[in-house]
Amino acid sequence: MRFVQVSKQSRDFNRTASDASVTFTLPEGFKETVPVNSEELTYDYAIALPDHSVEIWFAVKPYKSITRIYTNPDSAYISLGKEQVSAFSADNAYFVRNLTDRILNQYNADVGKSYLLNLNDSPATKHYKYALIITLQKNKAGALMAVCLTNDKGPDFFKEIDKARNCIKFK
């Protein structure tokens, strides 16, 4: 029998994820890491590809907490994204798009957006240069955000984050 040690960060994240009807499975090749948390940036869990300059930080908000934080809980995913863009953006120029129905169906989400931006050079972002921020929401369940950080936003970055594509979704 093989025993797997589960970190406190992982246990807490899975509890919060469950409250938001979210499932998470650590993708093959990724390892748990520690996100940078500050007053304006709070994440529940982080993973990274060893020997690669890619990290993914996750924040999950159960519906109950969304209704306490946001005036319009149905657009919490928009607020989550805009808050991160505002905190991270080096030049306030970013590319944003609505996620297609095909992508939303993969995550069992009702709505979502993605943001691609240049980052401020900051310890808060571990001096990464670029971020792809993905926000998803399932009505009456919760919202989630994945912040994918890299120093190279070329095709290799998208291939590497694609390896984690199926690790998180709504039930």
∠ CA 110-15-58 to the nearest 5 degrees?
A: 55
Tokens 């998803």 belong to residue: 136
Backbone angles phi, psi at 146, to 5 degrees: -120, 125
List beta partners, residue 50.
Answer: none
Tokens for 51? Answer: 């020997």
Binned at pLDDT 50, 70 and 90, residue 3 comes out as very low
Helices (H), ranges, the chain: 8-19, 63-69, 76-88, 101-106, 155-162
Q: Give the integer Cα–Cα distance in Å for 100 and 95.
A: 15
Range 109-116, long-range pairs (CB < 8 A, 24+ positions): 109/136, 109/137, 109/138, 109/169, 109/170, 110/137, 110/138, 110/139, 111/77, 111/136, 111/137, 112/77, 112/136, 112/137, 113/77, 113/78, 113/81, 115/81, 115/84, 115/85, 116/153
pLDDT tens digits, one per residue of 6-29: 688 888 999 999 999 999 999 999
Which pLDDT value is given to residue 89?
A: 84
pLDDT tens digits, one per residue of 104-124: 999 999 999 999 999 988 888
Which pLDDT value is given to residue 139?
A: 94
Predicted model pTM: 0.91
Q: How far is CA 147 from its chain centroid?
A: 4
pLDDT tens digits, one per residue of 116-157: 999 988 888 889 999 999 999 999 999 999 999 999 988 889
Q: How far is CA 113 from its chain centroid?
A: 12
DSSP designation for 110: S
Fold of the domain spanning 8-166: Protein Transport Mog1p; Chain A (3.40.1000)
Is residue 130 a contact partner of residue 153, using CB atoms and an 8 Å limit? Answer: yes
pLDDT tens digits, one per residue of 51-86: 777 999 999 999 999 998 888 888 999 999 998 898
Which pLDDT value is given to residue 1?
A: 39
Binned at pLDDT 50, 70 and 90, residue 40 comes out as low
Tokens for 75? Answer: 């657009």
pLDDT tens digits, one per residue of 77-92: 999 999 889 888 867 7
